[in-house]
Structure 1
Amino acid sequence: MLPFNAILTSLGNRALFGRFTTKALHSLFQQAVGGVTPAVFCVRLRSVLDVDVTEELASVALPILYLQARADNVVPRSATALIQKIRPEMRLVETDSPHCLLQVVSQDAARVIGEFVVSTTYAMVAPIREPCR
């Protein structure tokens, strides 16, 4: 592994998993970034930092679920406030997890997502149902 990748793996593991890290998660993360060159990593990071889709968010006509990790070291809480300002009807569910919550609390996240899909599907379909004649 390149020295850059060792540093990236160590810092990234702390940022993404924090106190929730396990040997298995660390190993998977190491495999994922092990071959990423510094140049590619910089391009990816720059693209994340440069994106701004607040206008597009305002025009989304579907229900929004935000799974917020209480121990997120990547996305600041101010991001939640911004989304809530733009889409106040957004459903917010906090989890005791790090940024990579789908990897850490996958069963809880799947349950919440499933409940959200069911509740929003019913809410969207119910008003357009007409009685059978």
Structure 2
Amino acid sequence: MFAALLQQLVPVEVIAYPSEPVAGYTTLLEQLAARVTVDADTVLLAESFAGPLGVALVAQAAVAPRALVLCATFADSPLLWLRPLAPLLRGLPLHGLPPWLCAAATFGRWATPAWSARLHATLHQVPQPVLRERLRAALRVAWREALSGVRCPLLYLQASADCIVPARSARRIAALRPDLHLVRIAAPHFLLQVAPEAALAAIAAFLANTVAR
């Protein structure tokens, strides 16, 4: 799903979540902290579900990284009104959702048969209980206070047509971090997949305008 972006990032390390066992944010953070080394040259990019993990990982790191880039993400529940319904997700047949529906929610008007097929295949690689737990975790997370511990330049890439994460999520981050630099890009929730060049240009410009550590 990230091939076009990764081809232009050198060097880069992609951190994948384990597909088993079922885990929420706290457990995932512990696993990531044991695998990820943050140093003064690190530029950490956290997209969508990974936003709270990126914030918490940087906040607890012994060394401040070069920058933290948040993309189409949140630090607390992006859909507060759905939080009470989180327990109902236990029986949701996520693998049974129509491919066109998933593509419409994540790609919007940029959806194509090819993207729909790739998304469908990717989702089916993850067990349904794991997907359900990630949805529940996203609805319940409240890690916004961890932003106060982020000691590095902070960039937010906002998708102009995001049907998953509302613009309010970026505003809530900015409320605690007025130094947040926000760049709005014409794209759906899957911004990095649809607009990798624009995302890379925004990141490069941001890094060029921040003082190297």
Do both share a fold (TM > 0.5)?
yes
Question: In the aligned structure 2, how far is the partner of 1:19 from the partner of 1:7?
Answer: 19
Distance 1:62 1:30, change over 3 A: same
Paired residues of 2:99 and 2:117 also in contact (CA < 8 A): no
Answer with 32-41 or 21-30: which moved more. Answer: 32-41
* Aligned length in residues: 121
CA distance in 2, matches of 1:49, 1:109: 26
The answer for the alignment partner of 2:148 in structure 1 is 58
Identity of aligned residues (%): 36
Residue of structure 1 equivalent to 2:178:
88
Equivalent position to 1:45, from 123, 135, 155: 135
Partner of 1:77: 167
Match of 1:16 among 97, 106, 114: 106
Equivalent residue number for residue 97 of structure 2: 7
The structure number with the bigger radius of gyration is 1
Distance 1:86 1:95 in 2: 22
Off by >4 Å, runs of 4+ in structure 1:
none
Q: Which amino acid aligns with 2:136?
A: R
Asked whether the 8 Å contact 1:5–1:36 carries over to 2, the reply is no
- Partner AA of 2:160 in structure 1: R
Give the structure with the larger helix fraction. Answer: 1
Q: Cα deviation per residue 1:39-93 (whole Å; 9 max; x = unaligned)? A: 2321121122222221111221111110000100011111111111111111100
Aligned-partner SS, 1:79: helix
Q: Provide closer, same or farther for how the CA distance between residues 68 and 4 of structure 1 changes in structure 2, counting only shifts above 3 A.
A: closer
After superposition, the CA RMSD in angstroms is 1.8
C-alpha contact 1:97 1:104 (8 A) present in aligned 2: yes
What letter is aligned with 2:194? V
Cα deviation for residue 6 of structure 1 reads 4.1
Q: Which runs of 5+ in 2 are unaligned?
A: 1-92
Q: TM-score scaled by structure 2?
A: 0.52
Tell me the distance in 2 between the aligned counterparts of 1:107 and 1:49: 30
Q: Which moved more, 1:51-60 or 1:6-15?
A: 6-15
Q: Secondary structure at the match of 1:58?
A: helix
